[in-house]
Amino acid sequence: MDQNSGNSHGRVVAALHGVSMRRHTTGQVILDSLDWTVRAGEHWALLGPNGAGKTSVLRLVGATAFPTTGTVDVLGHRLGRVDVRELRARIGHVSTSQRVPGDLTGLTTVLTGHTGTVQPLWKSYGDEVRERAHGLLAELHVKELADRPYGVCSGGQRARILIARALMADPALLLLDEPFNALDLPSREDLVDTMRHLALNRAELSTVTVTHHVEELSPAIGHALLLREGRVLAAGPVGDVLTRERMTACFGRPIEVSRHGGRWLARSGGFG
């Protein structure tokens, strides 16, 4: 399967070639001979059972880990030959496990994305930076949270604030590590709408979303990568990857998959 189809002429944003990762202490194989390419404007979903290697892949393309063997190129630079601190500044990262002081307002939380810090560096935030932060809160439909403490925001509100924070650096690549974790249904749907909006309005932005549930994928997701035991089971256009046969092979039990209006549904059961 051609995993680059659908945007074959796009600029390569991230490329993994022959990548393997082993745990230093035990030698356990985490990733095994993985090949994968993300191009500008592509939106990928990473799916697989617990322990499949999803977080490790995200760490590689986020320049926070290095492969044991193989090569990783991100935004035109090869890991091991570039100052990863500068590279990380051009990559947006969103995770519900991110440490954000609860007393920071929504606006201040977004501002810290400009400096890549946990605590605000006030001297770095001029009028233009503040205007950009306000604009991102408005774009993600949470401008009313500018003065609200992060700690009292709902899970869905926090997720959108964190996305706004990640976008402060105007990244070419946005990585989302289980952003829907613990969200209720309305919050999930708000976040799905947000991801669709970003895809429509930022043509060159590439995203990679790690999730356990296909129901969380926005209609903007055009590609999917299935991982099982550290290996690529399938990668390519989402309609070719999220099939009954491949999902069943990936998760080790019968899974039925359907798609309605660009949204996905998966459930386990017989195929009678």
User: How far apart (Å, rounded) are the C-alpha atoms in residues 53 and 46?
Assistant: 10
Based on the domain organization, do 142 and 245 belong to the same domain? no
| Residue 195 structure tokens | 């991801």
User: How far apart (Å, rounded) are the C-alpha atoms in residues 259 and 272?
Assistant: 19
Block residue for tokens 């990548």: 19
pLDDT of residue 96: 78
pLDDT of residue 29: 83
Establish if 150 belongs to a structural domain: yes
Domain boundary (170, 188, 222) is at: 170
The structural domain count of the chain equals 2
| Residue 175 structure tokens | 């990585």
Based on the domain organization, do 85 and 184 belong to the same domain? yes
Based on the domain organization, do 128 and 221 belong to the same domain? no
| Residue 1 structure tokens | 């399967």
Based on the domain organization, do 133 and 184 belong to the same domain? no
CATH number at residue 9: 3.40.50.300
Domain boundary (115, 147, 170) is at: 170
Establish if 265 belongs to a structural domain: yes
Domain boundary (138, 170, 202) is at: 170
Establish if 95 belongs to a structural domain: no
Helices (H) and strands (E) in the chain, counts: 8, 12
Establish if 194 belongs to a structural domain: yes
190-211 CB burial, b ≥16 within 10 A, e <16:
bbbebbbebbeebeebbbbbbb
Q: Which domain holds residue 183?
A: 1-90+171-272
Establish if 14 belongs to a structural domain: yes
Based on the domain organization, do 176 and 74 belong to the same domain? yes
Establish if 176 belongs to a structural domain: yes
pLDDT of residue 270: 59
The answer to whether the beta carbons of residues 197 and 20 sit under 8 Å apart is no
Mean pLDDT value across residues 118-143? 93
Based on the domain organization, do 16 and 150 belong to the same domain? no
Establish if 82 belongs to a structural domain: yes
What is the maximal distance between C-alpha atoms in the chain? 65
Encode pLDDT of 135-175 as tens digits: 999 999 999 999 999 999 998 899 999 999 999 989 999 99
Based on the domain organization, do 216 and 147 belong to the same domain? no
Which has more pLDDT, 116 or 26?
116
Establish if 98 belongs to a structural domain: no
